[in-house]
Amino acid sequence: MTHPTRRRLLALTLPLIGALAMTASPLSAEALTGPAPAWAMPSIEGGQISSGDFKGKVVLLVNSASLCGYTPQYGDLQALQDKWAARGLVVLAVPSDDFHQEKTSNGEVKDFCELTFGLTLPMTEISKVTGPEAAGPYPWLAKTLGFVPRWNFNKVLFDGEGRVVGTWGSGAAPLGGEIEAAVSALLS
């Protein structure tokens, strides 16, 4: 497929995909699940990131991509972490090429995020978030909640015990809306 043809196809399908990706689960004061089982993923910095690293912390898990229309959310995700980190929030980015919008190497992703958005939040290596090769907590999310990212920048909020308390689609803004209100409620 030539690049102009691919761009036209994407221009026709992105609004439909975006509408599907914007769905969110209702947020309640109670957790939607029991605690997630332990998991680990390779860090983009080297070494491992594991669920044990976040014991007692509120975690916002986000499947991300550098070449997506929602990529500017990185700025708000960093601002959210900067605002709430001292009270116990960790925003964890999981770059993924499942929707064919990620750069080709971990180094390119790391450089792009640091240079473009000044990201300091923890980030895994490029990982699968859908299908049988999904990494980290994603297989458990699919099995337990039926939550599978339908596009980039889907968000899952875990309380300090590792229980899911909310999920949001791509269009949910990290700052000033439901997500920040949920973070605030958990950290107050």
Span 59-89, pLDDT tens digits: 999 999 999 999 999 999 999 999 999 999 9
Please classify residue 27 by burial: count the beta carbons closer than 10 Å to its beta carbon, then call 0-12 exposed, 13-18 middle and 19+ buried: middle
Query: Residue 107 half-sphere exposure, CB side, CA atoms within 13 Å?
Result: 0
Neighbour order of strands in the sheet with 58-64: 89-95, 58-64, 155-158, 164-168
Pick from 60, 35, 59, 40: nearest CA to 124: 40
Kindly state the percentage of the chain with pLDDT values over 90.
81
Token pair 């947020």 in the structure block, residue: 27
Range of the domain at 108: 3-187
68 assigned to active site = yes
Pick from 32, 35, 37: nearest CA to 137: 37
User: What CATH number does residue 166 fall under?
Assistant: 3.40.30.10
pLDDT at 3: 44
The Cα angle at residue 70 between residues 65 and 73, in degrees rounded to 5: 95
**Which residue in the list 68, 89, 119, 123 is annotated as catalytic?**
68
Span 8-58, pLDDT tens digits: 434 444 443 443 344 444 444 356 878 999 999 999 999 999 999 999 999
| Helices (H) then strands (E): counts for the chain | 5, 6
Q: What are the tokens at 146?
A: 């039926």
pLDDT at 30: 57
- Tally of domains within the chain: 1
Kindly state the percentage of the chain with pLDDT values over 70.
84
